[in-house]
Amino acid sequence: MPREAVTGPSSTMLHRWLLSLVARVGVLALVLCCCLSALYLLSCKAPSVHSYPPALVWVGGATSKEGYLALLQEREDTHRHYINSLGKQIAQLKEALQARTQQLQESLDKAKAKGVLPLGLEGSHKPQTHIDLQDFFKAQLNRAEIQSGENLPSEYAVVPFDSFTLRRVYQLETGLTRHPEERPVRKDRRDELTGTLETALQILNGPRRHKQHQRSYSPSDFIEGLTRTERDKGTVYELMFKGEGPRDFRQLMFFRPFGPVVRVKNERVDTRHMLINIVVPLSQRTDTFRLFMDNFREVCINQDRKTHLTVVYFGREQIDEVKAIMDHTSRKTQFRNFTLIQLNEEFSRGRGLEVGARAWRRSHNVLFFFCDVDIHFTLDFLTSCRLNAEPGKKVFYPVLFSQYNPSLVYSNQSPLPSIQQQAVIKKDAGFWRDFGFGMTCQYRSDFINIGGFDRNTKGWGLEDVHLYRKYLHSKLMVIRSPSRGLFHLWHEKQCADELPPDKYKMCMQTKAMSEASHGHLGELFFTHEIQEHLQRQKLLNDSIHLR
């Protein structure tokens, strides 16, 4: 606030100058009053005979009528002279006082605009200060990336969102030793998020003019929230609540411009008619595709039923098995929203997604989920996909949780847990894959308008980064946030020899990071040293017992 901005020598000098200016104006007004009083006393007092010139003394003591008339005329002329002089002085003082007042007002306005209004002078400017605070909040809100995106230089300039629930905060942290979730949440962070959640519930449960029988909202209706802080602007919060029906939701947005929370949006979001077209490029890997279809059947068919699956298959080998898996699922579930496209060419992920996206010929603008065959997702993710993508406004780039090698993570368990049981977010189970941009939710109109994928990209890698950068350079908002319902299943990674050096290096780095946690890899790497240490300790203990 402006009062808090008064720091340093410059503000002190300005304070002293303004106070001295006020003092001078007060002294000038006092002098004016004294002059008026003196002139009034002089005009009312009868002048002495000795105070007039000798011409007024009658020669020989004459007291004729002419003498009295001459004396009266002289006194009248004297009074008129005093009145004219007094009028001129009053006019001059009024002009000086008006000039000083205007100068003081201009100085106060400049000081207020700079936020250095001295203490003791702010009382008469409270309405203007309140207006300035509102203008400040509006200016911060207009500068923040809330309603529209910004042109960013690269993917490293994006400030990612943290997602949170009632008990956990999922955040991106650099380094392999960071926890992928914060639980328990720090008290200051918990109070901040709880206060925002309480504000949202007060708004949702506030007076309703149109619906008298609308139900009340409680913390159990809260689904998920997104938040991020931009250091020079403020903190934004997006909160999602359950609505009236299973596909009805309420989405609220708040902005804290380093001050009180300001409501930005409170609108109803109906997802009943939001169809998601899941586009999957594929080449061989039929065993993995079978697991993918099991997940698709459970989540998309049995639970959601507002999805379409488009598979773009490269080559002819194993194509019959892929068709058999899809036909079996269709017959068993009576689900018909499948599209299989075969391309007799070398596998290219970007090419497959491009063909799958442009193959959609229906009239309405569909929501795409670009997905890989080794991805496991939940119903909560499909909800996030619908709520965080909006045509012409924003695209959703979730950060998925990449699993480590289950044979290392669950080495003491036989058999290994099921995929659903492995879909947990904890430090030793996996990491946030914040370097990948392949999984994304965006509308077909935005994908077409942005130009789609780079068609010259072949094989593995970089096609998703190029598309991601296009959105960063556009006016669309990019929602980048860790997703608690999106998992990358571990599989042994093969880096082909025909890859160029830069892509081969990226592939090997990904392979190394996907095996196990930093601590677990350390145990494997130093197994020999650990075994030797255990043997030495055993020998030492045995020698102690023999004594």
The CA distance from 328 to 348, in Å, is 27
Cβ contact 309:339 at 8 Å = yes
Choose from 4-8, 56-60, 323-327 the range with maximum mean pLDDT. 323-327
* pLDDT over 60 (residue 128): no
Say what the pLDDT of residue 6 is: 40
Sketch out the chain's domains with CATH numbers: 155-203+217-268 (no CATH), 276-493 (3.90.550.10)
Closest CA to 252 of 231, 273, 227: 227
Cis before 53 (ω within 30):
no
Longest dimension (CA), the chain: 153
* pLDDT over 50 (residue 48): no
Say what the pLDDT of residue 23 is: 67
Taking only the tens place, the pLDDT of each residue in 489-528 is 998 888 888 888 888 888 888 787 788 888 888 888 898 8
Integer angstrom CA distances of residue 525 from 271, 490, 516, 518, 536: 50, 20, 12, 10, 19
Taking only the tens place, the pLDDT of each residue in 299-314 is 999 999 899 999 999 9
